[in-house]
Structure formats: structure tokens, C-alpha cells
């Protein structure tokens, strides 16, 4: 009885414990994190840019916009030590709420309000008069 109540994940886990015994090097772990961070945002790039590493995108503006997009998809904003903190105006915010609001506006601009509809319902009081169209990264 108890074994059936564990769900389908537990037998899978028992059959894949070798994953935890695998030794991974620091560089490989770093590359995996970077690769998975950009997975969801890659589809917003033009076809010819989808296989290029983010730091190898041709223009600075495209690279910065892509980094902002990737962070935004993960509901994150740039770190104050990153160039995007200044390039996209996060340094002008007075508090964390304003930073999230600004990030939400960029999210609306970059991926449309479908992904961030809940945020816009919350912030709609302040930004209801703004109507934005989705941008494309090939314009950078």
C-alpha cells in the first residue's frame, strides 16, 4: 500500500541514483548552468543566432537585450554589478518594488504580456495606459 502511494517519481529515482555518484567538474557545472539559463530565451533569437553563445552575439545591444530577456524569463533582474543594471535603467529605481516593475515592463516589451499577465494585473493600476508591442531581438 505505501509503495503505491509514493507516486511514479520514486521508482524512477531508485533506478537513477547513479546520477548522484557522477563526478562533475566545476567548469562543466558552470557551463550547464549557463546553458540551461538561456534555454527558454533561445527561441526569441533569429535562427542564425540560436546556436551562438550569448557572449558571442554580434552587437552589444543584442547581447545586452538577450541577457535581460533570459533573466526576465526567470523572473530576475540584473545584478547591480552587471552592465545591464545601468544600461536598462535599474540603477534609477528607488526600491526593489520599482525594480520588479521595471523588469515587468521589459518583460512585456520583450515577450509580450502573455508570460507576465499576472504581474500586469497587479501593476495594471500604474501602467494601464501603456500599450506595448512585443519587440524582436533582431532589431538590436
Mean pLDDT by 10 residues, the chain (140 residues): 66 81 85 84 87 87 90 88 92 92 86 54 48 56
pLDDT number for residue 29: 85
Which pLDDT value is given to residue 86? 93
Helix runs in the chain, H state only: 9-15, 18-21, 26-38, 60-73, 83-87, 96-111, 117-127
Q: Which pLDDT score, from 0 to 100, does residue 42 have?
A: 86
Q: Are 140 and 110 a contacting pair, CB within 8 Å? A: no
> What's the confidence (pLDDT) of residue 92?
94
Q: State the Cα–Cα distance between residues 109 and 113, nearest whole angstrom.
A: 8
pLDDT of res. 125: 46
Q: What is the pLDDT of residue 102?
A: 92
In terms of Cα–Cα distance, which of 46, 24, 43 is closest to 33? 24
Number of domains in the chain: 1
Report the pLDDT value the prediction gives residue 129, as an integer from 0 to 100.
47
Domain limits for position 92: 4-139
pLDDT for the residue numbered 32: 83
For residue 138, the model assigns a pLDDT of 63
Amino acid at each position: 500500500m505505501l509503495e503505491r502511494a509514493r507516486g511514479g517519481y520514486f521508482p524512477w529515482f531508485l533506478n537513477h541514483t547513479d546520477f548522484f555518484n557522477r563526478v562533475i567538474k566545476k567548469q562543466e557545472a558552470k557551463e550547464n548552468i549557463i546553458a540551461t539559463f538561456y534555454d527558454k530565451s533561445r527561441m526569441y533569437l533569429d535562427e542564425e543566432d540560436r546556436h551562438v553563445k550569448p557572449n558571442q552575439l554580434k552587437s552589444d545591444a543584442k547581447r545586452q537585450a538577450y541577457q535581460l530577456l533570459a533573466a526576465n524569463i526567470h523572473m530576475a533582474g540584473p545584478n547591480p554589478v552587471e552592465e545591464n543594471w545601468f544600461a536598462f535603467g535599474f540603477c534609477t529605481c528607488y526600491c526593489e518594488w520599482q525594480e520588479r516593475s521595471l523588469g515587468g515592463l521589459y518583460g512585456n516589451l520583450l515577450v509580450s504580456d502573455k508570460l507576465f499577465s499576472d504581474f500586469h494585473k497587479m501593476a495594471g493600476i500604474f501602467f494601464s495606459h501603456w500599450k506595448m508591442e512585443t519587440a524582436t531581438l533582431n532589431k538590436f
